[in-house]
Amino acid sequence: MILSGGKGLGDALIQQKSIAGSNMVGANWSYLFYDYPSNHHFQWWAQVSYSYMWRDYRGQDQKQHIWELKPVLRWYPRRQAQGLFGEVGVGAAYLDERSFGAIDLSTNLNFSLHFAAGYTLQSGNTVSLRYSHFSNGYTNTPNPGFDFASLNWHTAF
């Protein structure tokens, strides 16, 4: 289980307009389906996520529900799955609202992309900082997308 909290980002990275005033909370379920220890340790995870974003935009309360399904590759620079790691995930997301802040998405079904850096404790719990991007990947025009950053706490059940 992964619990997340974060903020929308401005237009400095991939997205074209800012959602910097938005807030996000989320819950993710991950399943480890491949663990490959070598000189570097690789793990493949399947991840199902739900995120809830909200903000006040021009005097209106806006809400966004996001459901994601994606494979995630995690890399540890040493043989053990402990300490620092990097992570990338690419999959599909459904966003229930096309308009959020100044951004008007052209589709509800979008690609989901994230990059993360984190640290796995000896207890097995993990903390990570994640950058997430959602867009239609130029399968439709326009392709505005939006981004947010989150702090995540991972714990095993």
51 pLDDT exceeds 80? Answer: yes
Supply the pLDDT for residue 15: 67
Q: Pairing state of beta strands 146-154 and 126-135?
A: antiparallel
Domain 2-154 has CATH 2.40.160.20: yes
- The residue among 18 and 117 whose pLDDT is bigger is 117
Among 1, 5, 11, smallest CA distance to 145 is for 11
**Band of the pLDDT at 38, cuts 50, 70, 90?**
confident
Share in percent of the chain as helix, strand, coil (round to 5): 0, 65, 35
Residue 112 and residue 29: Cα distance in Å, rounded? Answer: 16
Q: Find the mean pLDDT for residues 37-47.
A: 93
- Please give the Cα distance from 42 to 77 (Å, whole number): 9
Tell me the pTM.
0.91
Question: Which of 38, 27, 1 is CA-nearest to residue 126?
Answer: 1
pLDDT in tens, 77-90: 998 889 999 999 99
Q: Return the amino acid letter for 128.
A: S
21-30, 81-90, 136-145 — which is least confidently predicted? 136-145
